[in-house]
Amino acid sequence: MKIAILSRNKNLYSTKRLVEAAKERGHEVDVIDTLHCYMDITSSKPTVRYKGEALPKYDAIIPRIGASVTFYGTSVVRQFEMMGTFSINESVAISRSRDKLRSMQLLSRKGVGLPRTGFANEPDNVKDLIKNVGGAPVVIKLLEGTQGIGVVLADTAKAAESIIEAFMGLSANILVQEYIKEAGGADIRCLVVGEKVVAAMKRQAAEGEFRSNLHRGGTAEIVRLTKEERATAVNAAKVMGLNFCGVDILRSSRGPVVMEVNSSPGLEGIETSTGKDVAGMVCEFLEKNAKPNKNKTKGKG
């Protein structure tokens, strides 16, 4: 197969592992910087151009689209889809998962466990907003935040009101969520490929920190999932329409609740802590599901 990995940096661990795994399995693989792609949209034969040349028709792509370039990145993925290329995650699914509010609404509609979550526009709704998610402490999240940036824990109702009003004063879109105290500053990252959880790790927040992101000094270890946790992760991926994603869940007193579904999960933490060849499993999924591109023509890779 001829595979392209859409990545801003070929030296990132995840990108390198995917390249390595694809080559080990006998595939041709190119790394393409998403933001350097440009598209011919008006032609009856859609193409993606890169460094002055039309890219070949790939059999499959693995999008590694960062949150800050979602709009342009998904437009590039969409162009590849128009060319008959199989994308492990479709452009519409990536966009769906990146909109935190929309993804929460979709998961809620399908009955997936979630923390109580509120969203409001006017500051005069703040007191009732806090009360409606169970009262302080509450977690306040910027809709556009990633890797724990823009996530604040407010211990008291007064502090929560002040933070929410400050964010609203900056015209920032925010979610207010109940704080799952029994999780003890830990969450579980479930790596889903296809309709299966292929690896899972427990991430524990550093002392004095409630965010468990590894970028924030959190630690990771292998974890044994319950049947309910596996089902929750797989269902969340299905609702988002993602074939390859990270589903972050918390262990609450009422069962697993989903915090986020990440369409471009990092591989370093989970491969290191579990010893699983996740990159190889991604390639295996492509082998089973990507058919040769019927529009394929010769071209440089």
Q: What confidence tens digit (pLDDT) does each residue in 233-242 have?
A: 999 999 999 9
43 against 247, higher pLDDT: 247
Domain locations in the chain as residue ranges = 2-92, 96-113+182-283, 117-179
> Beta-carbon neighbour count of residue 272 at 10 Å?
13
Q: What is the pLDDT of residues 19-49, one digit of tens each?
A: 999 999 999 999 999 999 999 887 788 899 9
pLDDT score, position 13: 96
Q: Note whether 130 and 275 are within 8 A (CB).
A: no
**Residue 212 one-letter amino acid:** S
How is domain 96-113+182-283 classified at the CATH fold level? D-amino Acid Aminotransferase; Chain A, domain 1 (3.30.470)
Query: By percentage, how much of the chain surpasses pLDDT 90?
Result: 69
List the single range of 43-47, 181-185, 210-214, 265-269 with lowest mean pLDDT.
210-214
CA distance 188 to 224: 10
> Over the stretch 166-181, which tens digit does the pLDDT of each residue have?
888 888 888 899 999 8
Joined together, the tokens standing for residue 91 give: 């452009």
Q: Is there a contact between 113 and 287 (Cβ–Cβ < 8 Å)? A: no
**Class of the CATH domain delimited by 2-92:** alpha beta
Residues 4/30, Cβ–Cβ less than 8 Å: yes
Superfamily of domain 117-179: ATP-grasp fold, A domain (3.30.1490.20)
CB 239 within 8 A of CB 112: yes
Give the confidence band of 207 by pLDDT, cuts at 50, 70, 90: low
pLDDT, mean of residues 119-138: 86
For the record, the structure tokens of 14 come out as 């995840």
* pTM, 2 dp: 0.88
* pLDDT of amino acid 208: 55
Residue 287: half-sphere exposure toward Cβ, Cα within 13 Å: 13
